[in-house]
Amino acid sequence: MTALRCFRVGIVLLATLITGYLALAQDGSRPIQPPPDLDGVDFIYHGVNVGNVDAAANSGGAAKNDGTPGATTKPLQTEIDAYLKATKRTSIAWVNFAQVISKEDDAIFPADKCKSVAGYNAVPFINLVTPGPGVMLEGSNANGWTLKKEWTDAINKWGQGAGAYIKGAGANQKALIIAWGAGCNSDSSCWKMKGDPERFKTTYAAIQSAINAAVDKAAADKDKAVDKEKKENPKLSDNITWVFQIQVSATPDSSPRFEDFYPSPNAKVDWIGASIFGASTTSKEKDKTTPTPAPDDPSSGASAIDKKPTLTPLAVQFGPYYHRIREMDSVKPIIIAAFGCPDTLDSGSMCWARDALQALASEPRRFPKVIGFAWFDSSSPFDYCAGAPQSSKGESLDLGMDVNSVVAGVFPRFLADPKVFSWPSFKKWVKPKIQD
């Protein structure tokens, strides 16, 4: 960027820190907002997806592995610290973690995890995982579908916990991001919804409605300060950003159409998320790469001899999906909620990660509607994150930055770009008019 543009970028960063947090402190009812753009420079969020971290310790209990595929024994803070150290960053816009709810007893809002994330000045991004609609719903196509009582009670219980958390959180720690049904368009996902998207949309709307109602009910005994702009009492649920998340496949025609699962307009969708993974091989398959000369630029992170892998680049995988998403909804912001490639192809994995970051974060932007990205910094496979790379024997492959030094080496250069926001903004930005 030119010196003038760098100066403009710096002004926006400073304004974000001041006006965004001051605005939130005034009414406490603003969710995370898309990052600003300035004079044609689109900013983009940098988050991280830590998967099913600290499985089963949903309310902050001792770390343990509950047997869920890909579950880890690492506490959430340990995962975050390891990622930040590997990528040479000190902050993050959001931290995405999964919570598995298989019965009402599991429906405990993860308040301690959210507080841990907020301690990094980041927004908690909860990937809510439940059984599919076939288990949660009762009724018929003729008479309509509703949540079963036990699941209504479970979701209400979880929503009440969310409301208590938002109500008690500090002024800059109230925002939440929630996704349910991630990877619904994949045959291998736990939803198993091919051919029955209507019940998926019904369940999405019912869960969202129940959570929002329970969250707002938590404000019943709150001092009802009037929002001076809206002239009405802000709702606690206004702090929640809802994400509809799809799985990007290398063979999109073989999966159900994600458009059929889109729950809007019957349910609120703030952002559209996508998960993209770059490999499904083990370290024993490294011979599938062929050596090619590496770039001369030492800042690229490439070694003297680079191996070009037989991997489909993120931009090639995501391109058709991006255009389909824009046709489905041309307004909603898009995030890459999870992307990753295991460090099993030596510098081939590095090339995939470097090219992915180049497509997402560098100018000119390949996908201008994408407002954020998050590396899948965990093991796989996950039921909720169908398509995550695994070995030919179905074994987990760890995508964590702390064990993938070759991949981690390409991140600092891109994340140091001032256009990459490693903290959340709570201000609704209007593109300013700049006089040259």
Domain regions of the chain by residue span = 39-165+175-219+234-280+293-420
- Residue 29: the pLDDT is 55
Q: Is the dihedral of CA 400, 401, 404, 407 positive or negative?
A: positive
- Residue 380: the pLDDT is 53
CATH topology of domain 39-165+175-219+234-280+293-420: TIM Barrel (3.20.20)
Pair 256, 197: CB distance under 8 Å: yes
- Residue 365: the pLDDT is 84
Token duo for residue 426: 């709570």
Per-residue confidence in pLDDT tens, the chain, 436 aa = 565 555 555 555 555 444 444 444 444 457 888 887 655 667 899 999 998 765 444 333 333 333 343 445 568 898 899 999 999 999 999 999 989 887 777 789 999 999 999 999 999 999 998 888 888 999 987 888 999 999 999 999 999 999 999 999 887 789 999 999 888 887 655 555 556 788 899 999 999 999 999 999 987 655 454 444 444 557 899 999 999 999 887 666 666 789 999 999 999 999 999 999 875 443 333 333 333 334 334 444 443 334 444 678 899 999 999 999 999 999 999 999 999 887 665 567 888 899 999 999 887 788 999 999 999 988 654 433 344 444 444 455 678 887 777 788 899 999 999 889 898 988 776 443 333 2
- Residue 293: the pLDDT is 34
